[in-house]
Structure 1
Amino acid sequence: MTSGRDDDALSWGDDDPTLDVGSSDAARDATLGLPTGYRAVGKGSRPVEAEPPAVEADDAVDPAERQQLSNATLVFLGIFGGVYLLYAVGWLIGGLRLQDAALFVVTPAMYQPALVLAVLAPLLWFLAALYLTRARATWLRVLWLIAGALLLVPWPFIAVGAVGS
């Protein structure tokens, strides 16, 4: 069975109008109806309608409800996801390096949960910023991620370093 486009073999895959994101008109026009020269026969072989039936207002999906993220936003989220992951590793290394000095000030029962929370804080901030700003504007999500990157810098890792003094 043919798709109605004779030159499919002479085009790239991304030239296919049925693969366009957000362009349902092109996909509907490309797949609707029979190819030229064909005739529908048999039970229920009424002519194919050019327009699909109208959708009631209750069942309609709001196009602004599920908007896709832009490429720049996806790259930004990937970079900041990596930054927050490195922050978690930095808090772990810095916290473990300061463990001996901290035992003079606090008990191990207080230090261990604080270290776990410090390691989880960047990851929780990243997930919370994504979850809580999912229905908001993209700039607000970016603002919260930048604020978290500035607030959650692993200062023990920076102050003591990976090797220490």
Structure 2
Amino acid sequence: MSTPRDDDALSWGGDDDPTLDVGEKHAPPTPVPGGEVEAEPVEPLQPAAAPVTRHPEPVRSEPVAVDDADDEDPDAAHAAPLGNVGLVGIGMVAATFLLFAIGWLLAGLRLNGLGLPIPSVTVIALTIGAALAPVVWFVAVLALTRSRRTWQRFLLLIVGIVLLVPWPFLSLGAFA
């Protein structure tokens, strides 16, 4: 048997708020002669109000199987949230894109001092554009692939990594 003092350890302050009640409280099971406990039937919980959805789904005139709905309409079923591995992977890709942006910036600033027959304003504008390209790619992929599967999102991020490697920085060397 638990005492009310034991029950206090398992509760939060404000648990007695009437808006948090999810159903009726039931009496503890009554013992039956012979040492067995008779359990009361459990009633399903009734929701207090209809659930509010942000994006109501369109009404379909014909029944659709659950498997078909997921394959046909990617907006109807949102992708599952990323797990720990996905979040760490996104962080590593973000760090890679940040390093690429720094590499493009350093390479562009180094090209500005080489005396190329290009106006320095053009070189600075191209340097800024090249430095922003990895950041724009990363943000665009994350924003545009929210309803896609995780592997599709990572595939597009890896394509960005391959396309946006700062070759001038790598070919000129770090401190040349």
Does the TM-score normalized on the shorter chain lie above 0.5?
yes
- How far apart, CA to CA, are the structure 2 residues paired with 1:58 and 1:6? 38
Q: Does residue 152 in structure 1 map to residue 164 in structure 2?
A: yes
2:101: which partner in 1? 88
Cα deviation for residue 132 of structure 1 reads 1.1
Which of the pair is proportionally richer in helix? 1
1:1-165 to 2 correspondences below 5 Å: 6=6, 9=9, 32-33=22-23, 50-52=45-47, 55=50, 64-65=77-78, 67-101=80-114, 103-164=115-176
Number of residue pairs the alignment of both structures matches: 132
Closer/same/farther in 2, CA of residues 105 and 7 from structure 1, 3 Å limit: farther
Closer/same/farther in 2, CA of residues 114 and 138 from structure 1, 3 Å limit: same
Instruction: Please give the TM-score of this superposition, normalised by the length of structure 1.
Output: 0.65
- How far apart, CA to CA, are the structure 1 residues paired with 2:162 and 2:97? 11
- How far apart, CA to CA, are the structure 1 residues paired with 2:54 and 2:132? 41
For structure 2, the 5+ residue unaligned runs are 11-19, 28-43, 58-75
RMSD in angstroms over aligned alpha carbons? Answer: 3.6
Closer/same/farther in 2, CA of residues 60 and 159 from structure 1, 3 Å limit: closer
Closer/same/farther in 2, CA of residues 146 and 8 from structure 1, 3 Å limit: farther
Closer/same/farther in 2, CA of residues 7 and 156 from structure 1, 3 Å limit: farther
Letter in 1 for 2:46: E
Query: For the Cα contact (< 8 Å) 2:106–2:169, is it kept in 1?
Result: yes
Query: For the Cα contact (< 8 Å) 1:84–1:122, is it kept in 2?
Result: yes
Structure 1 outlier segments of 4+, above 4 Å: 4-8, 34-37, 56-63
